[in-house]
Structures are given as C-alpha cells and as structure tokens.
Amino acid sequence: MIEDKNQQRTQLSDLGEFGLIDHLTKNFKIKQSSTLKGIGDDAAVLDFKQNKIVVSTDLLVENVHFDLSYVPLKHLGYKAVVVNLSDVYAMNANATQVTVSIAVSNRYPLEALEELYAGIETAARIYNVDVVGGDTTSSTTGLLISVTAIGEVKNNKEVYRSGAKPNDLLVVTGDLGGAYMGLQVLEREKEVYKVNPNSQPDLEPYNYIVERQLKPEARKDIVKLLEDLEVKPTSMIDVSDGLSSEILHICKESGVGCDLYENKLPLDPQVISTCEEFNIDSTTVALNGGEDYELLFTVSQEDFPKIKANPNLTVIGFMREKEHGVHLITRAETKIELKAQGWKNFNA
Ligand code: ADP
Ligand code: MG
C-alpha cells in the first residue's frame, strides 16, 4: 500500500511554489488545435471557432471523496480528470482541455505529487485533452483537487437532461454497480490490513470491480459511437451518483415519468458473485451504487434499430407521462417507486 512507496522524500518547501508548478507541469504537451496558450501565462487562451463550449468542475476532498490508505495517488490523479471528462461527454461534447488545482499540506513530499501528476498526465494523454492551467496552494488539512474540464460540441448537437419525451427508450452504456462493489472489497481489505499490516490482499478475483473503483473510464467512445450511428439522444446524464438518482434527474428536468425494468439491468458476473459473497442485493447496488461513469440517455423509438445490436448499449426502460411517476418494474412484475439514494457525503 501507499506507505511503502515514496521512499525518497523531497520537501515541497525546497522547490517553492513556482519551482513546484514548473516541475509538475513540465511533461504536459499541447495536442488540441483549440489551445492557443496553455500553462505559463495569466490565463489560457482557447479558440473554438463556431462550436459551443461546455465547462464542468468537480472538487475532490481527502477523506470525503477518496481515502489515501487504499487509493494510489497515481490512480487518484487519473480518476480526478476522468470523472470530469465524463460530465463533458454527458453533454454529447468532446473534451478538449482541463485545468487542475490542488491544495496540499507539507506532509506530502514532492514524490507524492509526482505520482498524482503522473496519473493526471496519463489521463490527459489517453483522452487527448490538454492541461492548460490550474492553481497550487497549501492546505492545513488534507489534499484537495479540483479539476475543470472544457469541451466543444457542434451547434445543436449538445444534449441536456431536459429533452426526454414520453415513449422514448431509456438506454445505459456498459454495466452497473462494479465501482461500488470494488469499494466494498477495498474497505474490507483496509480493515484486514489494520489488524494485520503484513497481510497481502489477494484482489485478483475482484480485478474488474476494483479497477472500476480505482481506475474508472469515461465513455468518450460513446459520443463517437452516437455520432457514427447518427443518433442524437433526447436527453443524457452520466452515472456518477447512481442509476436511480440519475433517472430521477432526467425525469424531473424533462417533466416525464419512467418504467425501469429490473431484469434489463446490465451486471457483470463479478458484480453478481461479489454481491452474493457480501450478501448484498445486486439490484440495489445497480440502482444506488454510483461512480460507474457510464452514460444514461434517452432516444426516440424510431432510433431503436440503430442501437439495438450494439453490445455497449442496453435498453433498460421506457419513458412515460409525468403523471405515471417513476418506477422499477421488478422481476416479479411488481411496481416500486424509485427513490434516489446516491452518495451521501453530507450525512456521513
Ligand atoms: P497566477 O499567479 O496568475 O495565479 P500561478 O503562478 O498560480 O499564476 O500559475 C502559473 C501558471 O501555472 C498558470 O498558467 C497556471 O494556470 C499554471 N498552474 C498553476 N498551478 C497549476 C497546477 N497545479 N497544475 C497545472 N497548472 C498550474
Ligand atoms: Mg495561481
């Protein structure tokens, strides 16, 4: 785990603020033609020609959103970028730039921040976005990371949460609940480690779900796929808090109801087996787990032939009139009203 790493410890104060910024950002390369000026001036300069711009920000706080006892810093940097890109893709836009701001206490050596930035750099490379700025400051408590993602989308191609219509199909990408079950496994191993620091966890049987938690991916590919299929969703959102909560957002913003079918929920076999092991209901996990960073969207029924054969896409529900309400139709064909649970950062 993380304590074993970072043998070398260079004090941040040895570099000073500007030395630190230079050191951390020296590997970033500009790849996007829309980036006229990246890091190094008072502000970045971007040129999107005729396109619309989308902007989204997230703030991650140590011990609220991440726990460094089992999250490697490199993964944290990667995830901090990816979760923001996911919001850009959820607008049907292409992510092009990010800014990264950190507040960090002296207990972090330079080598720890190098790990964090290696993850940020990897995500920027894989998703083809430029890191064009940020801010660096000190913190008296833990680590804070804020990422702002910027993207572009052609006029009239942007997709809001608000466009779903009755009779539209509800579609989700990939599978659900993996990130949550990965977290359960990591939390359990952390408890074991506290009791016996020499224990070496065997995470191999959980490789898929642990990766879903530690190294999530954003569905950049889906934005491209929808374009290739010539499908413009009527509404879209990314699954960060949990499927129930996201469905309720779409229904509220669009003024519609929904029937969600339990027997259609896409679950990986590893999620099912781990749910059995932990004695947790897999439907509850799929509905409320969160952090899967899949895309949830609605399409009009006439687009069904274009999407039906695609293994990345599962039709899980049917939009209804608002008066109908929002329900889960269970395997036993009973109707249960859908309620948001999501992640309760404030209730902890
Ligand atoms: P200012 O005083 O104008 O805020 P800074 O000295 O904070 O400028 O930043 C200098 C340059 O480095 C700017 O381009 C800024 O966006 C960038 N920068 C600062 N901190 C970070 C960081 N943590 N990650 C990436 N870029 C950063
Ligand atoms: Mg600054």
Q: Which ligand approaches the C-alpha of residue 43 most closely?
A: 1
Residue 344's pLDDT is 45
- Ligand 1 pocket residues where CB is under 6 Å: 21, 25, 39-42, 100-102, 131, 133-136
- Give pLDDT tens digits for 238-277: 999 999 999 999 999 999 999 999 999 999 999 999 999 9
Q: Which ligand approaches the C-alpha of residue 99 most closely?
A: 1
Contact 271, 181 (CB under 8 A): yes
Cα-Cα-Cα-Cα torsion 280, 286, 287, 291, nearest 10 degrees, comes to 110
Q: Of ligand 1's atoms, which has the minimum distance to the CA of residue 25?
A: 25
Percent of the chain with pLDDT over 90: 86
Residues with Cβ within 8 Å of 344's Cβ and at least 6 positions away in sequence, in order, are: none
Rounded to the nearest integer, the mean pLDDT of the chain is 94
Residues with Cβ within 8 Å of 345's Cβ and at least 6 positions away in sequence, in order, are: 64, 65
Residue 237 class from Cβ within 10 Å (0-12 exposed, 13-18 middle, 19+ buried)?
Answer: buried
Q: Of ligand 1's atoms, which has the minimum distance to the CA of residue 41?
A: 14
C-alpha–C-alpha distance, residues 125 and 130, integer Å? 8
Going from the C-alpha of 157 to that of each of 2, 86, 163, 258, 319, the distances in angstroms are 43, 17, 12, 24, 21
C-alpha–C-alpha distance, residues 42 and 36, integer Å? 13
Question: Phi then psi for 186, rounded to 5 degrees?
Answer: -65, -40
Q: Name the residue with the closest Cα to ligand 1, atom 18.
A: 134
Residue 289's pLDDT is 92
Going from the C-alpha of 299 to that of each of 31, 168, 174, 237, the distances in angstroms are 33, 5, 17, 13
- Give pLDDT tens digits for 95-105: 999 999 999 99
DSSP class of residue 39?
B
Q: Name the residue with the closest Cα to ligand 1, atom 5.
A: 135
Q: Which of 114-123, 215-224, 334-343 shows the lowest per-residue confidence on average (mean pLDDT)?
A: 334-343
Q: Of ligand 1's atoms, which has the minimum distance to the CA of residue 101?
A: 23
Which pair of structure tokens corresponds to residue 47?
A: 């040129």
Q: Name the residue with the closest Cα to ligand 1, atom 3.
A: 42
Q: Of ligand 1's atoms, which has the minimum distance to the CA of residue 102?
A: 23
Cα 147 to ligand 2 centre (Å): 14
Q: Which ligand approaches the C-alpha of residue 148 most closely?
A: 1
Cα 44 to ligand 1 centre (Å): 10
Residue 141's pLDDT is 87
**The whole model's pTM is what?**
0.93
- Section 109-137 average pLDDT: 97
- Section 84-112 average pLDDT: 96
